[in-house]
Amino acid sequence: MISVTGLSRGYRDGAAVVDVLRGVDLSVAAGEWVAIVGRSGSGKSTLLHVLGGLDSGFLGQVSVAQTALQGLSDGALARFRNEKVGFVFQSFHLVQGLSALDNVALPEFFGEGGAGREARAKEALSRVGLGDKAGRLPSQLSGGERQRVAIARALFARPPVLLCDEPTGNLDAQTAEEIVGVFQDLHRQGLTIVAVTHEQRLMGAAQRVVTLREGRLS
């Protein structure tokens, strides 16, 4: 599902160039669940952004869900992001004035709307166990429920791959456990999951843990 070969990414820092990723190789099978760990600043978010088509300034071969990302146009990258990957962040980024359902369907907020949009949002909320709370505002939900809404939003377009950047980073231990349970359900449903994390529970639940160190994965 994911194939990365010789991925390098550097940033310009004044006159110098800082090489963050220096030849990352990674292969993730369809339906696999991989955790990425590494110290702060080791490039985990940078790697996730490349995998999610949010960053095109890299060198190397990156293929995700049968899409080769190197050299894609901005339009093609936008389509890739809309169809192939869902993103979950540490912060939930929910719109306070919108219901859970409208937050989930936000990717199509300016689209045609209609029954299909609502049905798909409800399906996504059911997948994270929130089928009965579609009408709630974020302020009427617990922290764990808010993160579940954010996960449902990432699933709205039914992507095959879920990319998560420290998805339990803002949650207490018990709530983190609740979110790990959601990922376990999604994994059982066949989703491919790549999750950057510091959290022991999330690492333990993944099938494989890889470490980013000195710009490479091991």
Ligand X SMILES: Nc1ncnc2c1ncn2[C@@H]1O[C@H](COP(=O)(O)OP(=O)(O)O)[C@@H](O)[C@H]1O
Q: Which residues contact Mg ion by CB under 5 A?
A: 44-45
Instruction: Name every residue whose Cβ is closer than 8 Å to that of residue 142 and which is 6 or more positions away in sequence.
Output: 175
Nearer to Mg ion, 128 or 195 (CB): 195
109 binds, among ligand X, Mg ion, none (CB under 5 to 8 A by kind): none
Distance in Å, CB of 37 to ligand X, minimum: 9
Ordered DSSP codes for 150-202: HHHHHHTT--SEEEEESTTTTS-HHHHHHHHHHHHHHHHTT-EEEEE---HHH
Closest CA to 20 of 38, 8, 36, 3: 8
Nearer to ligand X, 11 or 109 (CB): 11
DSSP secondary structure letter of residue 28: E
Nearer to ligand X, 47 or 155 (CB): 47
Nearer to ligand X, 43 or 53 (CB): 43
> Binding string, 33-62, against ligand X, x = CB under 6 A?
-----x-xxxxxxx----------------
**Does the protein bind ligand X through residue 168 (CB under 6 A)?**
no
Residues within the interface to ligand X (CB under 6 A): 11, 20, 38, 40-46
